[in-house]
Structure 1
């Protein structure tokens, strides 16, 4: 039986969302195939494991009686879970277990952005979702749009700047924005999700206020041209390399101008449906030609950043049916299981498929050469004594 380390939480403003995603994965994984090992990164950055971490009510009162602080080694081929050195006495148990595959369920910085994926690459352990590069590009809204624009994928006009430049010369930044774009605008932290820190600016006063909010969350700020009278249409992609398939499309409803954190996680009925009283329509009520265009763009957006596993791509549809890629939400930021049920992938089967893709990616990695015999040490004079002239 494979041992799956589900890792969630993290040093991120999206910490609570990540915990919920982690719980969903642990509850729906096929326990006849996999042994689940919860790994929770708390808000102090400590890594913990223990059975109490699998009970959601414990997160409400912080009651993790059996939780032990742990570390994972970045050593190649080391898949063991170690007790944190400071918690182990002279006769304490240093090795608590091992994991065969990692299922990250982080959201936001320090997890969704490629950082933790780098640890798993060094460990040489299979993990679910995008690699270091795909995760990083998918997380950074500026780099993501730069890559899509370079590949002739449709994105709205945008500009960006560093927080340090704003603090030095606000007037110059405002002038640059107003020269390149026109109101209304969206102001966003470049590396954040769940609509946190995002504001709409209809004039210069709004713009200044919005920037002051955004710079609290990130050092890079992106300003986007707003699409008026828009509809948001989302579509997920599953696969690896160019062998990918798309999910049903969804249309979030009942929101105004910005799909807020509350809209996404508090008000939303996760099962979706066509009732006007629910928070999303699945499948989205769009013409077949628009759906086909969105599906093709979703595949290209996924493949362009070297997507792996699953990602949800969010689109903007204007009144003239022009389609723009708003952003890609890589796993773990978006499992989007509800988009797959109508395609024959209930949550349990979807998790199986994601684990299978993780193993396939890891197996293909073994095809790469990681050494090159150049006999360089014997051919270079580095370190040799050089006679003084």
Structure 2
């Protein structure tokens, strides 16, 4: 009997559209001989839907029409039920739609990749793909992640961070502190967004103010870092869990401006140089739209770096993956200062765009094999967690009276 896999995507995030693209690729790649795909779409307003029409990304061109053809749903939050119900059933209609065996989050950014959705799935006691609550939250928050990475002796750039309220209350003082710590150019980043959303490179105080004004409209904490002027950007993915993890090949990314922007990642030509491939070739996973997720970025696979640098990046990627207790597939982005050959870990992506499947093709792993492995890891972790003691049989409230000590 096939397991029902709920692929959850969309959500209340500025990366909403990117999530739709990644989910479409994922749903095409999942092995239909083993699993039944149940698409679960969350609108930008947080309303949940399901329906076969959600399987075809072309239908998202007319979202209003699409939603009229789909079923609004409620998901049981009772531990162990895992049932999707119709949100507005007719009087005599069956309320229950389907029981889910595994959740497969493909939500990027806030309320999906940051531990929020993972916490809901934990309460439901359902197996789910990817990092757990803590690893997701740490990976998403750049400031907190860097604090932990430093304790692991993983190189990261120096930084200055502050809250939105500090900027609103005393902008001039914050600018003075930043300029006292770093010379220009600088990078301005919202602390908890991905896909380079809200990220700016700045070269003077006016550009700094404009960039921070943009960032504070998207996040409550802001991160400032020195900008590497002679930069090479290299990514490496890690697949596995605390018992076994493997690294993908490294890729080198090319940008059209001062850094790899949202437009470079998702609105580019999708050219892959050298030995890279546009799609895995062994499964029908090409989304026939102008945008193909991170495949739109210009890249070279493998990265044009020495064997020594490659080995260092792979080791650092594994160290970060294990140090933050990650699981599933995580793409880890690195910055290389070409003047010094110094490597810096930039950020971790707990649910990488397109699941970074293109990085596993040179390792001989198809997109379908990647999703199979992710589901195996999810089920294994769920079994292990359910073997842990989470409550005691005895009731300490028996005989308890307010104001008296327990007997």
State whether TM-score is above 0.5: yes
| Residue 74 (structure 2) aligned to one of 43, 64, 71 | 71
Offset, 1:288:
0.7
Structure 2: stretches of 5+ with no match in the other structure: 277-295
CA distance in 2, matches of 1:46, 1:227: 42
2:317 is aligned to 298
Contact 2:330–2:350 (Cα < 8 Å) also in 1: yes
* Alignment coverage as a number of residue pairs: 382
3-state SS in 2 of match to 1:187: strand
Offset, 1:266:
1.7
CA distance in 2, matches of 1:237, 1:376: 45
3-state SS in 1 of match to 2:238: strand
CA distance in 1, matches of 2:380, 2:77: 21
3-state SS in 2 of match to 1:233: strand
User: Does 2:358 correspond to 1:355?
Assistant: no
3-state SS in 1 of match to 2:175: helix
3-state SS in 2 of match to 1:257: coil
1:83 is aligned to 86
| Residue 349 (structure 2) aligned to one of 296, 321, 329 | 329
Offset, 1:66:
3.0
Offset, 1:332:
5.1
- Aligned pairs for 1:1-389 within 5 A: 1-62=2-63, 63-64=65-66, 65-84=68-87, 87-269=88-270, 273-274=274-275, 279-319=298-338, 320-331=340-351, 333=353, 335-372=355-392, 376-378=396-398, 382-384=402-404
CA distance in 2, matches of 1:273, 1:292: 20
CA distance in 1, matches of 2:153, 2:181: 20
CA distance in 2, matches of 1:191, 1:160: 12
Offset, 1:196:
1.2
Contact 1:48–1:67 (Cα < 8 Å) also in 2: yes
Structure 1: stretches of 5+ with no match in the other structure: none
Structure 1, residues 127-150: CA drift from partner, whole Å, max 9, x if none? 000011111110111111111112
TM-score normalised to structure 1 length = 0.94
Offset, 1:350:
0.4
Structure 1, residues 79-121: CA drift from partner, whole Å, max 9, x if none? 110111xx22322321111110011111111101111111110
3-state SS in 2 of match to 1:60: helix
CA distance in 2, matches of 1:217, 1:335: 24
The 10-residue stretch of structure 1 (102-111 or 326-335) with the greater mean CA deviation from structure 2: 326-335
2:285 is aligned to none
Offset, 1:334:
5.7
CA distance in 1, matches of 2:299, 2:48: 35
3-state SS in 2 of match to 1:3: strand
3-state SS in 2 of match to 1:74: coil
Q: 1:98 to 1:272 in 2, by over 3 A?
A: farther
CA distance in 1, matches of 2:21, 2:390: 38
Contact 2:190–2:221 (Cα < 8 Å) also in 1: yes
Q: 1:374 to 1:2 in 2, by over 3 A?
A: closer
Offset, 1:193:
1.0
Structure 1, residues 282-323: CA drift from partner, whole Å, max 9, x if none? 001111111000000000111111100000000000121100
CA distance in 2, matches of 1:271, 1:380: 68
Contact 1:268–1:280 (Cα < 8 Å) also in 2: no
Q: 1:169 to 1:254 in 2, by over 3 A?
A: closer
Offset, 1:335:
0.9
CA distance in 2, matches of 1:113, 1:302: 16
Q: 1:133 to 1:50 in 2, by over 3 A?
A: same
Structure 1, residues 178-198: CA drift from partner, whole Å, max 9, x if none? 222222110011111111111
Q: 1:163 to 1:126 in 2, by over 3 A?
A: same
